[in-house]
Chain A
Amino acid sequence: MSADARLTGWLAAARAVRGAGPWRAALRRLVADRAALAAALFLLCVATGSLAAPFLPLASPQVMQLGEPRPPRLVPLGDHGWAHRVTLEFELEEALRSREMLARTEQTLVALARRACGAQARVFRRGQREETHGLALVLPYRRDLDPARGSELAARLAQHLAAETVDGKLHLRGGGDVAVRLVGASATDGYGTTSRFDAWLLARRQACFGFWQLGPLLGTDAKGRDLLARLVFGSRISLAVALAGAFVSLFVGVVYGAVSGYAGGKLDERMMRFVDVLYSIPFLFVVIFVITLLDAWQAELAGLGIGRMTAFFLVLGLVTWLTMARVVRGEVRALRQREFVEAARVLGASHARILAVHILPHLLGLVAVYLTLTLPSVMLYEAFLSFLGLGVRAPDVSWGLLAADALEAISPLSITWWLVLGPALFLGSTLLALNVLGDGLRDALDPRLGPAGGAR
Chain B
Amino acid sequence: MTRFLVRRALWFLLTVWLVVSVSFVLMRAVRGGPFSGERALAPAIEARLAERYHLDWPLWKQYLQYVGPFDWSEHGTGFLGGDGTRPFGGLLALDLGPSFRYRDFTVNDILAQSLPISATLGALALLVALALGVPAGIFSAVKRGSTLDLLVRLAATIGIALPNFVVAGLLLVFFVFQLGLLPPAGWGGLRHLVLPAFVLGLPYAAYVARLVRSGMLEVLSSDFVRTARAKGLPERIVLVRHALRAAILPLVTYLGPATAGILTGSLVVEKIFAIPGTGSHFVNSALNRDYTLAMGVTLVYTVLVYTLNLAVDLAHALLDPRLAPEEGA
Interface residues of B in 268-304 (CB under 8 A from A): 268, 272, 282-283, 286-287, 294, 297-298, 301-302
One digit per residue, 1 when the CB lies within 8 angstroms of any chain B CB and 0 when it does not, for chain A 370-406 equals: 0000001000100110011000000000001001101
Q: Point out the residue from B15, B19, B286 that lies within 8 Å of A292, measured CB to CB.
A: B286
- Residue A56 at the chain B interface, CB threshold 8 Å: no
Q: Point out the residue from A281, A282, A376, A410 that lies within 8 Å of B172, measured CB to CB.
A: A410
Q: Are A454 and B163 in contact (CB under 8 A)?
A: no
**Provided the pairs A454-B210, A454-B254 are in contact, do residues A282 and B260 lie with their beta carbons within 8 angstroms?**
yes
> In chain B, what residue has the closest Cβ to A294?
B30
Q: Are A282 and B327 in contact (CB under 8 A)?
A: no
Number of A residues with CB within 8 Å of any CB on chain B = 52
Q: Are B169 and A285 in contact (CB under 8 A)?
A: no
One digit per residue, 1 when the CB lies within 8 angstroms of any chain A CB and 0 when it does not, for chain B 200-225 equals: 00000001001100110010000000
Distance of A35 Cα from B162 Cα, bound (Å): 20
Residues of B within 8 A of A272 (CB): 328-329
> In chain A, what residue has the closest Cβ to B313?
A276
- Residue B185 at the chain A interface, CB threshold 8 Å: no
Cβ of B223 to closest chain A Cβ, rounded Å: 15
Binding-face segment, B36-44, B104-112, B153-161: B153-161
**Provided the pairs A403-B163, A427-B162 are in contact, do residues A456 and B254 lie with their beta carbons within 8 angstroms?**
yes
Q: Are B163 and A277 in contact (CB under 8 A)?
A: no
Residues of B within 8 A of A101 (CB): none
Cβ of A54 to closest chain B Cβ, rounded Å: 27
Residues of A within 8 A of B183 (CB): none
Q: Are A435 and B30 in contact (CB under 8 A)?
A: no
Q: Point out the residue from B160, B218, B286, B309 that lies within 8 Å of A285, measured CB to CB.
A: B286
One digit per residue, 1 when the CB lies within 8 angstroms of any chain B CB and 0 when it does not, for chain A 418-456 equals: 001001100111011001100100000000000111111
Distance of A321 Cα from B260 Cα, bound (Å): 16
Q: Are A280 and B306 in contact (CB under 8 A)?
A: yes
Q: Are B31 and A404 in contact (CB under 8 A)?
A: no
Residues of B within 8 A of A220 (CB): none
One digit per residue, 1 when the CB lies within 8 angstroms of any chain A CB and 0 when it does not, for chain B 211-243 equals: 100110010000000000000000000000000
- Residue B18 at the chain A interface, CB threshold 8 Å: yes
Q: Are B302 and A376 in contact (CB under 8 A)?
A: no
Q: Point out the residue from B29, B31, B254 that lies within 8 Å of A455, measured CB to CB.
A: B254
- Residue A293 at the chain B interface, CB threshold 8 Å: yes
Distance of A404 Cα from B163 Cα, bound (Å): 9
Q: Are A376 and B328 in contact (CB under 8 A)?
A: no
**Provided the pairs A269-B327, A282-B301, A387-B163 are in contact, do residues A276 and B254 lie with their beta carbons within 8 angstroms?**
no
Q: Are A454 and B260 in contact (CB under 8 A)?
A: no
- Residue A111 at the chain B interface, CB threshold 8 Å: no
Across the A-B interface, how many residue pairs have beta carbons closer than 8 Å? Answer: 146
Residues of B within 8 A of A283 (CB): 264
- Residue B187 at the chain A interface, CB threshold 8 Å: no
- Residue B11 at the chain A interface, CB threshold 8 Å: yes
**Provided the pairs A431-B160, A454-B250 are in contact, do residues A406 and B166 lie with their beta carbons within 8 angstroms?**
yes
Q: Are A435 and B306 in contact (CB under 8 A)?
A: no
Q: Are A451 and B163 in contact (CB under 8 A)?
A: no
Interface residues of A in 3-18 (CB under 8 A from B): none
- Residue B114 at the chain A interface, CB threshold 8 Å: no
Q: Are A407 and B169 in contact (CB under 8 A)?
A: yes
One digit per residue, 1 when the CB lies within 8 angstroms of any chain B CB and 0 when it does not, for chain A 283-308 equals: 11100110011001100000000000
> In chain A, what residue has the closest Cβ to B303?
A280
Q: Are A455 and B253 in contact (CB under 8 A)?
A: yes
- Residue A48 at the chain B interface, CB threshold 8 Å: no
- Residue A340 at the chain B interface, CB threshold 8 Å: no
> In chain A, what residue has the closest Cβ to B272?
A407
Distance of A11 Cα from B30 Cα, bound (Å): 74
Distance of A108 Cα from B169 Cα, bound (Å): 57
Distance of A154 Cα from B294 Cα, bound (Å): 54
Q: Point out the residue from A292, A404, A435 that lies within 8 Å of B161, measured CB to CB.
A: A435
Q: Are B15 and A400 in contact (CB under 8 A)?
A: no
Q: Point out the residue from B15, B161, B211, B287 that lies within 8 Å of A277, measured CB to CB.
A: B15
Distance of A431 Cα from B264 Cα, bound (Å): 20
- Residue B319 at the chain A interface, CB threshold 8 Å: no
Cβ of A414 to closest chain B Cβ, rounded Å: 10
Distance of A400 Cα from B27 Cα, bound (Å): 27
Q: Are A288 and B163 in contact (CB under 8 A)?
A: no
Cβ of A92 to closest chain B Cβ, rounded Å: 52
Q: Point out the residue from A323, A387, A412, A435 that lies within 8 Å of B268, measured CB to CB.
A: A387
Distance of A316 Cα from B214 Cα, bound (Å): 29
**Provided the pairs A281-B19, A388-B283 are in contact, do residues A452 and B264 lie with their beta carbons within 8 angstroms?**
no
- Residue B151 at the chain A interface, CB threshold 8 Å: no
Cβ of A238 to closest chain B Cβ, rounded Å: 12
Q: Are A282 and B305 in contact (CB under 8 A)?
A: yes
> In chain A, what residue has the closest Cβ to B168?
A407
Distance of A272 Cα from B11 Cα, bound (Å): 12
- Residue A273 at the chain B interface, CB threshold 8 Å: yes
Q: Are B283 and A454 in contact (CB under 8 A)?
A: no
Q: Are A293 and B162 in contact (CB under 8 A)?
A: no
**Provided the pairs A281-B19, A285-B301 are in contact, do residues A432 and B158 lie with their beta carbons within 8 angstroms?**
yes
Q: Are B160 and A451 in contact (CB under 8 A)?
A: no
Q: Are B160 and A452 in contact (CB under 8 A)?
A: no
Distance of A273 Cα from B257 Cα, bound (Å): 17
Q: Are B214 and A407 in contact (CB under 8 A)?
A: no
Distance of A265 Cα from B46 Cα, bound (Å): 55
Q: Are B173 and A411 in contact (CB under 8 A)?
A: yes
Q: Point out the residue from B15, B169, B215, B282 that lies within 8 Å of A451, measured CB to CB.
A: B215
Q: Are A454 and B31 in contact (CB under 8 A)?
A: no
Residues of A within 8 A of B297 (CB): 285
- Residue B263 at the chain A interface, CB threshold 8 Å: yes
Q: Are A427 and B250 in contact (CB under 8 A)?
A: no
Residues of B within 8 A of A411 (CB): 173
- Residue B55 at the chain A interface, CB threshold 8 Å: no
> In chain A, what residue has the closest Cβ to B11?
A273
Distance of A415 Cα from B177 Cα, bound (Å): 12
Cβ of A277 to closest chain B Cβ, rounded Å: 5
- Residue B62 at the chain A interface, CB threshold 8 Å: no
> In chain A, what residue has the closest Cβ to B213?
A454
Distance of A297 Cα from B218 Cα, bound (Å): 51
Residues of A within 8 A of B160 (CB): 376, 431, 435
Q: Are A432 and B15 in contact (CB under 8 A)?
A: no
Distance of A403 Cα from B272 Cα, bound (Å): 14
- Residue A279 at the chain B interface, CB threshold 8 Å: yes
Distance of A276 Cα from B10 Cα, bound (Å): 13
- Residue A268 at the chain B interface, CB threshold 8 Å: yes
- What are 19 residue pairs bridging A and B, where the CB atoms are less than 8 Å apart in the complex? A272-B328, A273-B11, A276-B309, A279-B305, A282-B260, A285-B297, A383-B163, A387-B165, A403-B165, A407-B272, A410-B170, A410-B172, A427-B162, A428-B161, A431-B160, A432-B157, A455-B211, A455-B250, A455-B257
Q: Please give 4 more A-B residue pairs, beta carbons under 8 A apart, in addition to A272-B329, A280-B305, A431-B162.
A: A280-B302, A282-B302, A297-B31, A454-B215
Lowest 6 CB-CB distances: which A-B pairs, in order? A410-B169, A431-B161, A296-B31, A282-B301, A269-B328, A280-B306
